[in-house]
Structure 1
Amino acid sequence: MPVNMSNAHCGVIIMSGNKAVWMHIGAGSFHRAHQAWYLHSLMQQGDDSWSIALGNIRDDANALLGALAAQKGEYVLETVSPDGERQYETITSIRKVLAWDSEISALVAQGADAQTRVIAFTVTESGYYLTPEHELDMQQADIKADLNGGIRTLYGALTRILTQRIANNGGPVTLLNCDNLRHNGERFRHGFLSFLKAKGERALYDWVKHYTTSPNTMVDRITPRPTPDVAERVLAATGIHDAVPVMGESFIQWVIEDDFINGRPALENVGVELVESVLPWEEAKIRILNATHSCIAWAGTLIGLSYIDESTRQSAIRQMAWEYVSRDVIPSLTPSPLDLAKYRDVVLARFGNPYIKDTNQRVAADGLSKIPGMVTPTLVQCYQRGATPSATAVLPGLFFLFLRRWADSTLPYTYQDGVMRPEAIKALFASDDPLATFAKDEALFAELAQSADFLALLRRTVAELEQWVKQPQAQLATA
């Protein structure tokens, strides 16, 4: 297929007489509070050369998409600072809402159009179906379905979209991962190419290798699921009746490796950091922010709390998080171009923001992907340098107790985990030694699954945590 590569890798491109489209897959709150805000900010500067087309692979966002379409893609973003200062902004960067159907027809048509120069996505950590060795997990039911022509996953959807793009001579396109996944561009790309190879899509495999890029990125903004009071505040502050407002913290950050194959928006003009390698920012964010976030959510849930901010303000929980970062993560990431201690303190301050009301339920999700991706690397590195990761072991210890509550049906909410096999978890807790079975799971702990020292450490840690959980009056003291 002839493809015009004259524009590849040459920065910001505006097609003569046409606008460029950033198609985003994943209609969740995070995209609308993060990437859409940056594109809107460019428009506010007078640069309207790019706009967003937003769609979803599955049918779980139909109500949102319908409401957005009725509002012509516009909605109000509420941000709140740790001091309680709220600001309201109408976001206008989503110029096309792609209605869902079982064949994802609108996504296919938009993704195949030559005006679409970036296809970005937020499908959560578990949406990539990777093993601890970062290989595509061919045993997952959704992957099996898509290898047989389905579109349950990002891989199946992109197969359909890019096949049509080739047929339309749509040209090169950047495939941009915006999820919290270490080496997210590389890991997605390897998973996608593995999928295409397994599916026998040789021509598409070759096209993806030559006519797409997948930069690594680091994204950051705490964005809780919107509750009804957000719309009430929006109405009171702006007079706008918004069916789908979104809220987030005032802090925002985006770091991207500058490797776009067919042009990009001038994101550097609105505070995005375009870098050669995202690795230092990525590692700090995943280990210090993401892993700590989950630690706080699991711990707070275990002692009967509902929100991240109130959990963070419990002295025992805050100390767990502080010790984990200070004793184990910072030595693992040193040297770094970032001030890691300052980053730790900023993160904990953000988590304690009493105006965000992010739920433990949201942050606790997908633990079976978070442990191997966010926690196990620190455990391994501690042992490699001869240190015992006592502070880090608290995180899998908390998650074990959290999973036990799930197996006992005593969690206060529904737990969502994209790679969970419920029967396997129930079998684990029905075994003679659930903790040993848990510790020996290579999918969670890689080479540490064979370590007697790690199992002994986890036994001590879980025993201490069980005693802590049994003392509610002692622990519910605000730091």
Structure 2
Amino acid sequence: MNTILHLGLGSFHRAHQAVYIHQLHQQGDNRWSITGGNLRPDMLETIEALQAQQGRYTLETVTPQGERTYTRIESIQRVIAYQEDLAPLIAVGADPATRIISFTVTEAGYYLDDKNQLDWETFPDLRGDLTAVQSGLAGHTIYGGLVSILRARMAANAGPVTLMNCDNLRHNGERSRGGLLQFIDALGDEQLKQWVLENTRSPNAMVDRITPRPTPDVFERVKEATGWDDRAAIMGESFIQWVIEDNFIAGRPEWEKVGVEMVNSVQAYEEAKIRLLNATHSCIAWAGTLVGYQYIHEGTQDPVIRQMAYDYVTDDAIPVLLPCPIDLEKYRDVVLDRFANPAIQDTNQRVAMDAFSKIPGMIAPTIRDRLAQGGSFDSVAVLPALFLAYLHRWHLGEIPYTYQDQAMDAAAAHAICEASDTVAAYAADETLWGEMASHPQLVDALRAADERVQAFVSQHAKT
């Protein structure tokens, strides 16, 4: 049996990639299985539960109409407990039976700036990981972890392997590959670099399925429906999509038999998803938090917030994506219907995180494209203006949950909020805006959008 080693054994992987392999098994194709583990000591209770259940768990699927179905997923054949030296993960990665190493670490976990260069200055954990690997220890960032695994694979002469990104990073295969090669360059390991260039591929891919963090309610419904006290149960929406560039070096599952779209280029799909879905998701999370909502569906069902999201997509995102093989207006409407599903119970807290990665990756490109077209970008400017208002609340300690942002410099963020001209300070932040920082049209658009957001929040407070 061929192995996919997956790094980052969270809910999304188990509601998405693992489901497709499970479906192949259901069709009688058992040629591939998954071994999974984490590079960091995350989700220890879930990992322990999965080990106790031999990798099995229940997926609760919820339609927009609130219909729930339950599937026991059995594609993860081995769950590896976290170990500081990563020895069990490295051993699996160095096994010739492992043909694909896949990973889910979120956008900020790639440490890339707007020029696709590793941002050594902003991320001390990246510098620390380089030092650790140089001294012979295992790495715990995605790059250090992969280097530790690939060095062992090269030494074992275990053959080529595909490195498959399963995140929302734009051009995720080539960008994560670029980050890996830069990390190897910083190590000065020319032998490993040549081996990686010759013996690995990094296909781009687009992944999509809303998968909230599981709550005790999920465990209770699963137990009631199945009779199984499943401590690793998860829930996801019924919609699922995976588009993969068919660029594999050591074989792959026949994913096309279970609905995966294998294509020559994923660019149109990923741009539509990142701009129409991911950016809209953040818009609704920030806006919803500002007016006291807890869940994404509450904000989506609010007519003012829904109109903000609709206008952003219609006025600014769609015009810069045309021509496109996808019906973008239909895609927009499907996305908003998905977000409005009350059964998903997806929290603003989960979606609002990592804005200092999401704004440059998901929102600034539309502003940049509208600038290049010579058009206004008033509707898309509302999204970063919502986050500026959100950032003010965070600065004052008034966000009702813990905000997580791996790419945010907390001191710099507080300084923005304390500036005499907060909009100008915000527009000058190079982490958010790159070469557009302090562009006069950006500043003007953010000022106008900031006034709209303040009026929106004020009006909500009165109703």
Pairing partner for 2:15 from 33, 36, 40? 33
Query: Given that residues 132 and 442 in structure 1 are in contact (C-alpha distance below 8 angstroms), is that contact kept between their aligned partners in structure 2?
Result: no
Q: Give the one of 113, 129, 147 matched to 2:130.
A: 147
Check whether the contact 1:77–1:247 (CA below 8 A) recurs between aligned residues.
yes
* Aligned equivalent of 1:9: none
Aligned partners of 2:90 and 2:392: how far apart in 1? 42
Q: TM-score, normalised by structure 2?
A: 0.97
1:296 to 279, 284, 287: 284
Q: Distance in 1 between matches of 2:42 and 2:244?
A: 29
Deviations 1:423-460 (A, max 9, x none): 22112222222221110122211232141121011111
**Conserved 8 A contact 1:145-1:152:** no
Q: Distance in 1 between matches of 2:459 and 2:311?
A: 21
Give, in whole Å, the separation in 2 of the partners of 1:287 and 1:347: 11
Task: Work out whether residues 224 and 362 of structure 1, in 8 Å CA contact, stay in contact via their aligned partners in 2.
Answer: yes
SS of equivalent residue, structure 1 residue 59: coil
Aligned to 1:452: 440
For residue 181 of structure 2, what is the aligned residue in structure 1? 193
Among the aligned pairs, what percent are the same residue? 54
Counterpart residue number, 1:361: 349
Partner of 1:371: 359
Aligned to 1:85: 67
Q: Spell out, residue by residue over 1:125-181, the C-alpha distance to the aligned partner (whole angstroms, 9 max, x if none).
A: 100000011111111101111111252310011111111111111110000000001
The offset of 1:474, in angstroms, is: 5.9
Distance 2:462 2:178 in 1: 48
1:56 matches 2:38:
yes
Counterpart CA distance in 1 for 2:292 and 2:71 is 35
> Contact 2:367–2:380 (CA<8 Å) still a contact in 1?
yes
Opposite residue 330 of structure 2, the aligned amino acid is: K
Query: Is this contact kept in 1: 2:48–2:81, CA < 8 A?
Result: yes
Give structure 2 stretches of 5+ with no counterpart: 134-138
Tell me the alpha carbon deviations over residues 361-404 of structure 1, each in whole angstroms, 9 at most, x when there is no partner. Answer: 00001110000000011001111111110000001100111111
Q: Secondary structure at the match of 2:43?
A: helix
CA RMSD of aligned residues (A): 1.0
Q: CA deviation at 1:60?
A: 1.4
Q: By how many angstroms is 1:473 displaced? A: 5.2
- Mapped to 2, the partners of 1:461 and 1:276 lie a distance apart of 39
- Counterpart CA distance in 2 for 1:404 and 1:203 is 49
2:228 match = 240
Write the letter of the residue equivalent to 2:355: G
| Residue 115 of structure 2 corresponds to residue 133 of structure 1 | yes
Query: Which of 50-59 and 424-433 deviates more?
Result: 424-433
Matches of 2:154 and 2:372 in 1, distance apart?
A: 47
Q: Distance in 2 between matches of 1:295 and 1:46?
A: 43
> What's the counterpart of residue 428 of structure 1?
416
Work out which of the residue numbers 212, 229, 247 in structure 2 matches 1:259.
Answer: 247
> Which runs of structure 2 are paired with 1:253-332 in the superposition (5 Å)?
253-332=241-320
Amino acid paired to 1:82: P
Partner Cα separation in structure 2 for residue 228 and residue 148 of structure 1: 40
Distance in 2 (alpha carbons) for counterparts of 1:143 and 1:243: 33
1:347 maps onto 2:335 in alignment: yes
Matched residue SS, 2:389: helix
Give the AA of the match of 1:71: Q
Correspondences of 1:358-437 after superposition (within 5 Å): 358-437=346-425
Question: Per the alignment, in what secondary structure is the counterpart of residue 118 of structure 1?
Answer: strand
Following superposition, the deviation at residue 287 of structure 1 comes to: 0.2
2: CA distance, partners of 1:462 / 1:76: 44
Measure, in 1, the Cα distance between the counterparts of 2:150 and 2:71: 35
Q: Distance in 2 between matches of 1:120 and 1:34?
A: 12
SS of the residue aligned with 1:456?
A: helix
Letter paired with 2:45: A
Runs of 4+ in 1 over 3 A off after TM superposition: none
- Alpha-carbon distance, 1:314 to partner: 0.2
Letter in 2 for 1:148: T
Structure 1 residues without counterparts, runs of 5 or longer: 1-18
1:75-126 deviation digits (Å, cap 9, x = unpaired) = 0000000011111000000000011111111111111111110000000010
| Deviation readout 1:46-98 (Å, 9 max, x if unpaired) | 00110000100110122111110000000000000001111100000000001
SS of structure 2 residue aligned to 1:387: coil
Distance across 2 between alignment mates of 1:120 and 1:474? 49
Report the count of equivalent residues. Answer: 457
